[in-house]
Amino acid sequence: MEDLITAAEAAKLLHLHVKRVQHLARTGQLPATRFGHKWLFSRSQLLVTRLSGSTAREPADAPADASQGALEISARNRLRGRIASVVADGVMAEVRIQVGDQEIVSIITRSSAERLRLAVGDEVFAVVKSTEVMIARAG
């Protein structure tokens, strides 16, 4: 049987506000089951689910090998590259990723860059969805 937890417990696990967790569940960006008026989440699924940007993050003790499918995200446009530069200023960070002979620039929050421990030379994924370029990292 799955280890079901409430939205409040999921929010605590993911370090998010409960309303954000409910929104992610409602939009299908977070795996959840609706039971009456409540959202229920599988704790084990949340531990291996990764959403980029400032949505959810995987706890440090969870496995994170992208080659074995630990990176789960709704976007299909994932470009593997290496970080060319990270410039953090104020609350934002500019991350430049070298993908082949192309460079992709992503503007993310400074806290996201710090949480992902982004550094020059790191292998990352540029995740492109609509008009956003998000950063994902295995490990």
| Local mean pLDDT, 10-residue blocks, the chain (139 residues) | 80 86 87 86 73 40 42 71 94 94 92 92 85 76
State the Cα–Cα distance between residues 113 and 37, nearest whole angstrom.
Answer: 35
Does the domain at residues 53-139 carry the CATH identifier 2.40.50.100? yes
Considering the entire predicted model, what is its pTM?
Answer: 0.46
What's the pLDDT score for residue 107?
Answer: 92
What's the pLDDT score for residue 50?
Answer: 43
What's the pLDDT score for residue 75?
Answer: 63
Residues near 124 by beta carbon (within 8 Å), at least 6 away in sequence:
80, 81, 82, 83, 97, 116, 118, 135, 136, 137
State the Cα–Cα distance between residues 64 and 76, nearest whole angstrom.
Answer: 19
Domain boundaries, the chain: 4-49, 53-139
State the Cα–Cα distance between residues 30 and 26, nearest whole angstrom.
Answer: 8
State the Cα–Cα distance between residues 50 and 56, nearest whole angstrom.
Answer: 6
